[in-house]
Chains A and B, each alone.
Chain A
Amino acid sequence: MEPLLSIKDLVKVYGKSTRALNGISIDFYPGEFIVVIGPSGAGKSTFIRCINRLIDSTEGNLVFDGDNLEKASGSKLRKERSKIGMIFQHYNLIGRTNVIKNVLHGRLHDTPLYKSIFGFFKHEDKKEAVELLEKVGLKDQIYKRADELSGGQMQRVGICRALLQRPKLLLADEPIASLDPISANIVMEQLHNISKEKKLTCIVNLHQVDYAKKYASRIVGIKKGRVVFDGKPAELSDKIIRSIYEGKESQMTLQNDAAQTGISTGVKEGPALQLTGGQKA
């Protein structure tokens, strides 16, 4: 099968000598749900931002969907970016704008400026936005200001915004790191189900190993800017996990505990974990 995204020798150097990425070569195939794990500072965030060029890599090749990404600029780059959805740790919604407009920001790339100013989006776009919001259980909140929502709700709006781009690839940078365990469960569950339903390829940065094992179809371990593990969740042994988090074990265990309590509380909420999610999250 042709890879959807093919990365060769990706290097990112900050300043003079801080090597955040140290030569990463990896292929991602359509339909995969990839979770990237590693301690903080390993370069996960830089890696994911290099893919849609929010950060420009120092060296390396990126081929996405048959196009060379690293050479694109201006409107060509914007077009390529629109095919890649992204979800952020801090949701990055425009707080003073209402929910549906935030979701519609996902369509800015093919809406001319004079139309978007006055909110003249295509009917089908608006319809899809409402449907997506309905799916994540936020239909009643569409005219609320984004900064009036809870963290879990904001992240679900963030997911809708990314999905409205009708992307081929979905990137998520620590989507649940700022959420409480219950909301984190809902958000991960929805992210997983929707991407499965739409046959989307997902690359998710997580530092919680438990979540990675639960949802991923493939796990990639990054340490000091290098890929140190690449395989099925079942192949990820405790020994490997320990070597990935070597020197930062405290991070791993602490977050493991948090994730565990999260999952156990999540199980209690059983039915709420369906697609619609919990309203109060």
Chain B
Amino acid sequence: MSNLNQKIKLDQEDSKKPLLIAALICATILFSVIYLKISMIDMMMGLPNFILFFFQNFFPPSLENVQQYIPAVLDTIGYAVIATFLSSILALILGILISENTNKFKSIRMICRALVSVMRNIPFVIWGALLVYIFGLGGIVGVLALIFVTIGFLGKSYAESIDEISGEKLEALRANGASYFQILLHGVLPQFVPSWINWTLFSFEINVRASVVLGLVGAGGIGVLIDTNINLFNYGEALGIIIVIVSIILLTEFVTNTLRKKLI
């Protein structure tokens, strides 16, 4: 009874853990600010300053030369399409080699997994820069860089989806006396199709964005036009191109979403 007069805790465990995490986060923030030598004022004023500058200089966008951008826009989309096609096929092969359901050789699984991991974990701009370094400037480099990155992303996603197909269903085909490739084609692939469509459409969205950016490192497409215009202080022109890019990306998202609903 006397207990009622004591403080009643709302949590059973003592709440030291959240406090510890909060302290850790604060310490890291402090460290980051000091390490980066960002002054707090700069940081706080950075956003308003930028927004002010944006409206003063970038506005209004100049859309007079839109027609000149059309070839670059088409290139950008073209790179993304080609890269998505090729990498969805290559990644399917890798996905089959990575999944335990379809490949029982552990060593091959590990090698493929490592390969895909490396491809995925190097940021695509770095891939672009490296490939430009090796092959020189040009559209093919852009497509190659996109393929590298997309294989990294899709290989992992495909493998996970193939893993999710229940082994039970494939067991039935084994009991029928089907060969490995028959199990693959009649058991694994039909069940995999929805995730295949889903992931591939998703990777197309990513590829369109990446394809825009790759222009900045000299891999062709519309990205380079932004850089050039900003360097020439043609801010209005640059914003015009950015608006074009935004429309492409929003349109892509709309198209993939529609396809997704239709196909699955």
Touch between chains A and B, by CB atoms below 8 Å: yes
Q: Which residues of A contact B (CB under 8 A)?
A: 52, 54, 75, 78-82, 84-86, 88, 90, 92-97, 101, 105-106, 108-109, 113, 116-117, 158, 161, 165, 171
Residues in B neighbouring A101, C-beta threshold 8 A: 186
With A82-B176, A161-B176: A96-B171 Cβ-Cβ less than 8 Å: no
Is the beta-carbon distance between A81 and B172 smaller than 8 angstroms?
Answer: no
Q: Is B10 an interface residue (CB 8 A)?
A: no
Of chain A, the residue at the smallest CB distance from B172 is A92
Residues in A neighbouring B191, C-beta threshold 8 A: 94-96
Q: Is B89 an interface residue (CB 8 A)?
A: no
Q: Is B48 an interface residue (CB 8 A)?
A: no
Contact with A along B154-192 (1 / 0, CB 8 A): 000000000000001101111111110110011100110
Is the beta-carbon distance between B173 and A108 smaller than 8 angstroms?
Answer: yes
List 9 additional contacts besides A81-B176, A88-B172, A97-B186; criterion CB under 8 Å: A78-B178, A81-B174, A88-B168, A94-B169, A97-B190, A105-B178, A105-B186, A108-B178, A109-B177
Q: Is B259 an interface residue (CB 8 A)?
A: no
B7 CB to nearest chain A CB (Å): 47
The docked-state distance in angstroms from the alpha carbon of A82 to that of B179 is 11
Query: Could you show 30 A-B contacts with beta carbons less than 8 Å apart?
Result: A75-B179, A78-B177, A78-B178, A78-B179, A79-B177, A81-B174, A81-B175, A81-B176, A81-B177, A82-B176, A88-B168, A88-B171, A90-B168, A93-B172, A94-B169, A94-B173, A94-B187, A94-B190, A96-B191, A96-B193, A101-B186, A105-B173, A113-B179, A113-B182, A113-B185, A117-B185, A158-B172, A161-B172, A165-B177, A171-B175
Residues in A neighbouring B171, C-beta threshold 8 A: 54, 88, 92
With A97-B190, A105-B186, A108-B186: A92-B176 Cβ-Cβ less than 8 Å: no
B96 CB to nearest chain A CB (Å): 15
Of chain B, the residue at the smallest CB distance from A89 is B168
Residues in B neighbouring A88, C-beta threshold 8 A: 168, 171-172
| Size class of the B contact interface (CB-based, 8 Å) | 20 to 34
Is the beta-carbon distance between B190 and A96 smaller than 8 angstroms?
Answer: yes
Indicate which residue in B172, B177, B181 contacts A82 across the interface (CB closer than 8 Å).
B177
Residues in B neighbouring A113, C-beta threshold 8 A: 179, 181-182, 185
The docked-state distance in angstroms from the alpha carbon of A93 to that of B193 is 16
Is the beta-carbon distance between A93 and B177 smaller than 8 angstroms?
Answer: no
Of chain A, the residue at the smallest CB distance from B188 is A94
The docked-state distance in angstroms from the alpha carbon of A105 to that of B187 is 9
The docked-state distance in angstroms from the alpha carbon of A113 to that of B186 is 10
The docked-state distance in angstroms from the alpha carbon of A116 to that of B194 is 22
Residues in B neighbouring A82, C-beta threshold 8 A: 176-177
Of chain A, the residue at the smallest CB distance from B184 is A113
Residues in A neighbouring B193, C-beta threshold 8 A: 96
The docked-state distance in angstroms from the alpha carbon of A94 to that of B169 is 7
The docked-state distance in angstroms from the alpha carbon of A118 to that of B171 is 22
Is the beta-carbon distance between A108 and B174 smaller than 8 angstroms?
Answer: no
B180 CB to nearest chain A CB (Å): 10
List of 5 A-B pairs having minimum Cβ-Cβ separation, nearest first: A109-B177, A82-B177, A92-B172, A108-B178, A86-B175
Residues in B neighbouring A92, C-beta threshold 8 A: 168-169, 171-172
Of chain B, the residue at the smallest CB distance from A97 is B190
The docked-state distance in angstroms from the alpha carbon of A219 to that of B168 is 27
Contact with A along B88-128 (1 / 0, CB 8 A): 00000000000000000000000000000000000000000
Is the beta-carbon distance between B175 and A54 smaller than 8 angstroms?
Answer: yes
Of chain A, the residue at the smallest CB distance from B182 is A108
Of chain B, the residue at the smallest CB distance from A91 is B172
Residues in B neighbouring A97, C-beta threshold 8 A: 186, 190
Give the one of A92, A101, A165 with max B CB within 10 A. Answer: A92
With A94-B191, A113-B181, A116-B185: A108-B172 Cβ-Cβ less than 8 Å: no
